[in-house]
Structure 1
Amino acid sequence: MTQKFYSLFVEHYLEGLLSPLGSVEVSGVITGSERRGIVLFFPKGTIQTERHSLGLLAKVAQSDCSIEVYCEQIGKTEVRSCLHKLLNVFSTLNYRASAEGKTLDDNLPRLWIVVPSASEDLLNGFGAQLELENWSTGIYFLPNVFRIAIVAINQLPVTSETLWLRLLGRGAIQKQAVSELVALPAENIIRRNVLEMVYRWRISVMTQTELTRDDQELIMNLTQAYEEARAQAVQEGVQLERRQVVENLLRFRFSSVDEELARVVDNLLQLTPEEFTPLCLELSREDLLARFNSHQ
């Protein structure tokens, strides 16, 4: 995959989701050779992760951290590179603390490496272990001295808690997450924001000519989310308009739509305009109530 396009999406996506919770810094200029999207996050206060709508992502971001997202499986070389960068961060933090007469405690930032999948050989090689008493399957922690965790998206349970991380997956996993995103209530603020991010990102990417097959797959999966949500909104708009027509016809006949008449509106909406219009205009109130109350 052309990582430039994927990395830009990851950065915009994570920045949009995490900004309300704290300070977000993205990696800056992305070159064609880079293979990930990088985000640094610093929470502005305690995050109530148990009930937060971002689920597992909020739990990941409950303390200072760095998040690196890869679009393909990685090997030991990439993990060593991540470790090297993280140790440099620790060195910088230690220098700053010393200059201020402070000592670093054990609450150092953690690096979360997010990958579509992780091989058993990779995990065993770094001594990565599950911590099922506190975390779900798919979250592997290296020995704590390294402050690194690997998130294997394909192993995450398919729940609302993991949705926002599974959207960064590949193939069928991402498609499933997209379907769950679209199925969220239209008034869900995160759903609305993510769809808007997808729309803006898609517009910027579609102007590019050097797209690989993987790029096109990512665009297709995310475009599905936008188009399905848009179609849903259009359908909801049509239904709302028809409801207003029916209610206006009833008001024209009976001056107002009281509780009894309101109960027959949904039944009238099951009919075509050609069917419900004469019923609203010709039937008496008693006949209208009797006809549709019999279908309750």
Structure 2
Amino acid sequence: MAQNPFDQLSKQYLEDFLAPIGTVQRQYEIPGEAKFVDVWFVPNSEVSQAEDLGLLGQIVQTPCLLEPYRNSPTRTEVRVSVMKLIWIQEDERRKTQLDNLAEATLPRLWILAATTSKPLLEETGGAIKANWMPGIYFLPDLFKTGIVAIDQLPETEETLWLRILGRDSTQQRAIREVLALPSTHPRRNSILRLLANWKVRIDVNQAENFSGQEALMAFSEAFLEWEQRTEAQGAERAERSLILRLLTRKIGEVPEAARSRIQALAIADLETLGEALLDFSDLTDLENWLAAHS
């Protein structure tokens, strides 16, 4: 089954975000039908784990189908997505052997559209709800479907993880927001890795169709930072490994407790240890040095 780069990344991206808080199945096959859902998600009971996902965490509070679209979805694509939802709901009903499942337990459909058109939203009956932010349109309640117009979302921290799946300037600004996050941010490195992998998959022939030049430049920045960080981390690991080997030759086997303390040293202290170990004669010298630099 052929997939374009956006399909591949959007599914991988959603899986990376949602796997810690529930069960994610990509290309989930609808029972009895040759149809596949892009992402089928069932949350764990500990829904509080999704709090740092902002709007994305809000929409995955219950079992749901996630269907990302790079371009504005067509009438047919919306109809097919809703049809998939109905098939999934029917399968859930068969599994429980209940003719009338409670509405609250039925899966929802979220169409994640990088962009939308006014005629489409009007034809689907999409409407904004007071308790949801702008850019989210709900079809009539019967269909349990929401369309997230990513390019209409407010540019806030709460929407960042969905705006990454936008396009052109929306995506560009979202990537730059990720680059501006503190290096200690728990999601920053994993997102940079994912964006770097995404860029690698975009060949030159696809680049113009895939995104505007500004967004492509933002991808390049994310890729370069990830590459530099990876190289730096690799060099640091190599230096720690070398110092441990030198210590073993100089004073014998290094205890695990001392190894752990060496692994925790800042790079500047590590370089200082590399010079100091030349004067060590036994384990006591190492322990004294570690005590002085703790």
Aligned length: 236
Partner of 1:225: 222
Gaps of 5+ in 2: 30-35, 236-265, 272-294
SS at match of 2:8: helix
Task: Check the 8 A contact 1:130/1:139 in 2, yes or no.
Answer: yes
2:150 to 150, 153, 164: 153
Identity of aligned residues (%): 32
Partner of 1:20: 20
Deviations, residues 42-69 of structure 1 (Å, cap 9, x unaligned): 00114238x8221111001111011110
SS at match of 1:18: helix
Partner of 2:209: 214
Partner of 1:6: 6
Q: Aligned-pair RMSD on alpha carbons?
A: 3.4
2:133 maps to 1:136: yes
Distance in 2 between residues matched to 1:37 and 1:183, nearest whole Å: 34
Which residues in structure 2 correspond to 1:247-258 (within 5 Å)?
Answer: none
Shift of 1:13: 0.6
TM-score by length of structure 1 reads 0.69
Partner of 1:57: 56
Distance in 2 between residues matched to 1:118 and 1:129, nearest whole Å: 13
Does the C-alpha gap of structure 1 residues 16 and 219 become closer, same or farther in structure 2, counting only changes over 3 Å?
farther
Deviations, residues 232-280 of structure 1 (Å, cap 9, x unaligned): 8999x9xx878999xxxxxxxxxxxxxxxxxxxxxxxxxxxxxxxxxxx
Which residues in structure 2 correspond to 1:13-92 (within 5 Å)?
Answer: 13-27=13-27, 38-48=38-48, 52-92=51-91
2:210 maps to 1:185: no
Distance in 2 between residues matched to 1:199 and 1:117, nearest whole Å: 23
Opposite residue 120 of structure 1, the aligned amino acid is K
Partner of 2:274: none
Shift of 1:198: 2.4
SS at match of 1:223: helix
Distance in 1 between residues matched to 2:24 and 2:90, nearest whole Å: 21
Does the C-alpha gap of structure 1 residues 219 and 13 become closer, same or farther in structure 2, counting only changes over 3 Å?
farther
Task: Check the 8 A contact 2:193/2:226 in 1, yes or no.
Answer: no
Opposite residue 16 of structure 1, the aligned amino acid is D
2:108 maps to 1:110: yes
Task: Check the 8 A contact 1:198/1:223 in 2, yes or no.
Answer: no
Distance in 1 between residues matched to 2:43 and 2:219, nearest whole Å: 28
2:121 maps to 1:123: yes
Partner of 2:238: none
Deviations, residues 1-53 of structure 1 (Å, cap 9, x unaligned): x9522111111111001111110000169xxxxxx98111100114238x822
Does the C-alpha gap of structure 1 residues 48 and 186 become closer, same or farther in structure 2, counting only changes over 3 Å?
same
Partner of 2:168: 171
Distance in 1 between residues matched to 2:4 and 2:137, nearest whole Å: 27
Deviations, residues 155-203 of structure 1 (Å, cap 9, x unaligned): 1000000000000011111000000001111111211111122233444
Opposite residue 18 of structure 2, the aligned amino acid is L
Opposite residue 83 of structure 1, the aligned amino acid is V
Partner of 2:242: none
SS at match of 1:86: helix
Distance in 2 between residues matched to 1:91 and 1:52, nearest whole Å: 30
Opposite residue 58 of structure 2, the aligned amino acid is K
Task: Check the 8 A contact 1:72/1:117 in 2, yes or no.
Answer: yes
Does the C-alpha gap of structure 1 residues 234 and 97 become closer, same or farther in structure 2, counting only changes over 3 Å?
closer
**Larger relative CO (CA 8 A, sep 6+): 1 or 2?**
1
Does the C-alpha gap of structure 1 residues 242 and 94 become closer, same or farther in structure 2, counting only changes over 3 Å?
closer
Gaps of 5+ in 1: 30-35, 246-296
Distance in 2 between residues matched to 1:225 and 1:72, nearest whole Å: 23
Partner of 2:96: 97
Does the C-alpha gap of structure 1 residues 200 and 28 become closer, same or farther in structure 2, counting only changes over 3 Å?
farther
